[in-house]
Structure 1
Amino acid sequence: MPTNILMPALSPTMEKGNLAKWLVKEGDEVRSGDVIAEIETDKATMEVEAVDEGRIGKIMVPEGTVDVAVNEPIAILLGEGEDDSALTETAKPKAEAQPKAAKTESTAPEPSGPSEAAHGKAPATEEKPKQPTANGHDTSERVFASPLARRLAKEAGLDLKALSGSGPHGRIVKADVEKAKAAGGAEKAPAQEARAGVSAPTPVSDEAIRKLFPEGSYEEIPHDGMRKTIARRMTEARQTVPQFYVTVDCVIDDLLALREQVNAAAPEKDGKPAWKVSVNDIVVKALGVALSRVPDANVTWTEGAMLRHKHADVGVAVALPNNGLITPIIRAVETKSLSAIAKEMKDLTARARERKLKPEEYQGGTTAVSNLGMYGVKDFTAVINPPHSTILAVGAGEKRPVVVGSKIRVATVMSVTLSCDHRAVDGALGATLVAEIKKLIEKPIAMLA
């Protein structure tokens, strides 16, 4: 029986991807482990390997196709002894070969994303949509939803009737329930407002916005996957995470002197220094050490419990060419030397700009650093990116007058602002953490002890 090759879920949050390139063609023989295609996610370009051996019978999705849904068939693999006539049969994926993309008979709906398949469950037999009567009321109270979505909605106290489904035929799946939970039950708001006789605010349409500007006065640039993801996650963060901010000014003359000494001591490799520590590298180290000293702030909020992490995994915001942003992660920062952080950051930044990072290199983390100092920005507030509970915004170092004892002197001062998730980090705890960060930035030699 032919086997469907499905669009893989290359990360836990991936819902769609772009099929950038086929590395095989119809008729090619492949073995398990052979690289057959390149898939672009919103963050990276990744290679896809065959999980079975056989012959590529048909390529169903041509290269260059964008927004291919996870678990959608992209090609058909013919097994030993099968010829092209077998392509007319309904191909099913082998559960033992692709357990995360298991499907039922062709009469059952496809899973809409990786979330349900990842639980090792095939989707239930499709339920029939509710049939309205002549007066417009439903003849049945059944809601078109998967069993997993029903259970998760019940646990979260969400009304399935208030959710919109993104699965086949409008079926509610796990992703829809998780979206409603992340929005704090926002999916229920329209129904609740309707019962109260209040109309929900209607967003301004794209067409209405275009009419505000003379035709031909602008260039229309379609959103790519990364921009859509940034917009969605930052909107969710602002709507669902109660954030507060604490700012301190740090005198960084000692930090600059230490940086100069560390770089001067770097051994040469191929006629160049083996590393070059930046101010940002030292700030990353300071944040990691500070979290190890204030462990109650090194946490992640979940509805059921607080996750207190054993290490400080610090994400570092990297601007990408042609717009966009990604946050590669330095793991266990508090255990690493400045030179190790500098070398790792250089490698991650280079591969991030080539969209070659692996998901585990930019997903997760316990906090992050966003530095706009190189653009001359004095201070700003950064948006927390869940599951983080904090993010440190770093401004430019500049000469300012400071009071030392009873005298005024000129020093290099850098402002940093810590954004905190108030569900996980209270005001006093946030102030304690930023005070520890300030202490380490101003006396960085303490991080090397």
Structure 2
Amino acid sequence: MPIAIQMPALSPTMEEGTLAKWLVKVGDKVSSGDIMAEIETDKATMEFEAVDEGTIAHIQVDEGTEGVQVGTIIATLAEEGEDVSDVEPAGGAAPAPTPASSEDKSEAPAEPAKAEPRESAEPARTPAPAASGGDRIVASPLAKRIAEQKGVDLSSLKGSGPNGRIVKADVEGAETGAAAPAPSAAAPTPTSAAAPTEAQDFSIPHEVEKLSSMRKTIARRLTESKQQVPHIYLTVDIRLDALLKLRGELNAALEPQGVKLSVNDLMIKALGKSLEAVPACNVQFAGDTMLKFSRADVSVAVSIPNGLITPIVTDAGSKAVSKISTEMKDLAGRAKEGKLAPEEYQGGTASLSNMGMFGIKQFEAVINPPQGMIMAIGAGDKRPYVVDDALRVASVMSATGSFDHRAIDGADGAQLMKAFKEMIEAPLGLVA
């Protein structure tokens, strides 16, 4: 009996993904554990292993297809003894979602290819333009976009889609140059800042780059964070001389073990211990409740080619700095290769983002929801600084905590910043 191979859920929150690449073809035999495909989730590109044995009879979703819902049948496997040529596609012969083209960026699920794939559902929030006579023009969003680019008057076209709807093919076959009627002063047509008009684009040479699943997720989550989370920002200046001296001594001692501590490793430890010292900041807002965590799992921002990911150092406050250093090197390396397991980047009770290595003096990071805070680390540099009531030159950095004011009061945030500053300026507590 044929076996349906479905789009897997490669993380607890995955609802859809991109079938980035097939590593098998029709006729190939596979065994349990064989790598069949590469699937791009919102955080990484992961390998999909075969569970059953058999021969690939049909591939129903082409590689490069975006927005494939979890549970969608992507291929059919013929069991041992079955003739591949006699096997029907599992779930029927309905075609798979069409890979998104550079012209259609919609994230809506694809429709079965009857007459108008990917255009048959128009968002309710997108009003259709009205003809000069007051009649409503029904056109797909893609058709409207192409009409604007080509200067085609939609009111002069007859739609071939359902209920006379104007679709992409109608606009592409129309005469170019018949400009759409200008909007009247009484009913101005707004232009979305998120989607520049083609007239604007024509004046500047540009390329169109399709967003990856990761970049779409970053955009969505950080927009939600800034819109829904009331941020409060608290900044302290921290003297680094003692920490830098201790780091040099520790690296000399750890050199035979092949361990080299970075300043970032010590910052992770300091944030972990600070969260333990001020548990009112190791929390998450959850509607009518608040989650209070008994340990500090620090998510660390790592820049990768397609965006940003935050691998987690679990129980950072209790781990030795040498262990944190070893873990971070491993996590960061695998993050850049897209090989982190979901549990290694999903979760965390707070975050740390260090842009000091780029020379950034001070910045305010966006909270990574649903976490309650993120620590932004700036560059350490030589500055005039008062030491023992005397003005001297010291190595100083600025650190800014961003706090979710729904869950963390300003006074509690200030206590955390004070604890973090004290940990850095008297760093022996980091190795105690």
TM-score, normalised by the number of residues in structure 1: 0.71
Answer whether contact 2:76 2:89 (CA < 8 A) is retained. Answer: no
Q: State the shift of 1:85 in Å.
A: 5.9
Q: Name the amino acid aligned to 1:259.
A: R
Q: State the shift of 1:280 in Å.
A: 1.0
> Secondary structure of the equivalent of 2:380?
strand
Partner of 1:13: 13
| Aligned equivalent of 2:354, options 334, 348, 371 | 371
Distance 1:44 1:290 in 2: 31
Distance 2:225 2:351 in 1: 14
Matched, 1:218 2:206: yes
Q: State the shift of 1:215 in Å.
A: 4.1
| Aligned equivalent of 1:316, options 300, 307, 317 | 300
Q: State the shift of 1:225 in Å.
A: 1.6
Partner of 2:27: 27
Partner of 2:311: 328
The percent identity for this pair of structures is 54
Answer whether contact 1:2 1:91 (CA < 8 A) is retained. Answer: no
> Secondary structure of the equivalent of 1:396?
coil
Residues 378 and 207 of structure 1, relative CA distance in 2, 3 Å threshold: closer
Residues 85 and 213 of structure 1, relative CA distance in 2, 3 Å threshold: closer
Distance 2:89 2:336 in 1: 44
Q: How does 1:178-197 map to 2 (within 5 A)?
A: none
Matched, 1:247 2:235: yes
| Aligned equivalent of 2:340, options 350, 354, 357 | 357
Distance 1:219 1:41 in 2: 24
Answer whether contact 1:17 1:41 (CA < 8 A) is retained. Answer: yes
Answer whether contact 1:275 1:343 (CA < 8 A) is retained. Answer: yes
Distance 1:265 1:37 in 2: 45
Partner of 2:134: none
Distance 1:246 1:431 in 2: 7
Instruction: Name whichever of 68-77 and 426-435 sits farther off.
Output: 68-77
Distance 1:295 1:412 in 2: 29
Q: Name the amino acid aligned to 1:68.
A: V
Matched, 1:434 2:422: no
Q: State the shift of 1:203 in Å.
A: 6.4
Answer whether contact 1:263 1:277 (CA < 8 A) is retained. Answer: yes
Partner of 2:393: 410
Q: State the shift of 1:399 in Å.
A: 1.1
Residues 68 and 202 of structure 1, relative CA distance in 2, 3 Å threshold: farther
Residues 63 and 249 of structure 1, relative CA distance in 2, 3 Å threshold: same
Q: How does 1:382-397 map to 2 (within 5 A)?
A: 382-397=365-380
Partner of 1:42: 42
* Structure 2: runs of 5 or more not aligned: 93-108, 110-186
Q: How does 1:232-311 map to 2 (within 5 A)?
A: 232-268=220-256, 274-311=258-295
| Cα deviation 1:293-333 (Å, max 9, x = unaligned) | 11121112212421111211101111113x51111111110
Q: Name the amino acid aligned to 2:319.
A: K
Answer whether contact 1:365 1:387 (CA < 8 A) is retained. Answer: no
Matched, 1:423 2:406: yes
Distance 1:46 1:78 in 2: 24
Q: Name the amino acid aligned to 2:255.
A: P
Instruction: Name whichever of 38-47 and 390-399 sits farther off.
Output: 38-47
Answer whether contact 1:18 1:67 (CA < 8 A) is retained. Answer: yes
Residues 395 and 216 of structure 1, relative CA distance in 2, 3 Å threshold: closer
Distance 1:356 1:89 in 2: 32
Cα RMSD (Å): 2.3
Residues 209 and 342 of structure 1, relative CA distance in 2, 3 Å threshold: farther
Residues 89 and 327 of structure 1, relative CA distance in 2, 3 Å threshold: closer
Q: How does 1:49-88 map to 2 (within 5 A)?
A: 49-84=49-84, 87-88=87-88
Residues 346 and 90 of structure 1, relative CA distance in 2, 3 Å threshold: closer
Alignment coverage as a number of residue pairs: 338
Distance 1:202 1:38 in 2: 41
- Answer with 1 or 2: which has the greater Rg: 2
> Secondary structure of the equivalent of 2:393?
strand
Q: State the shift of 1:208 in Å.
A: 3.9
Partner of 1:341: 324
> Secondary structure of the equivalent of 1:75?
strand
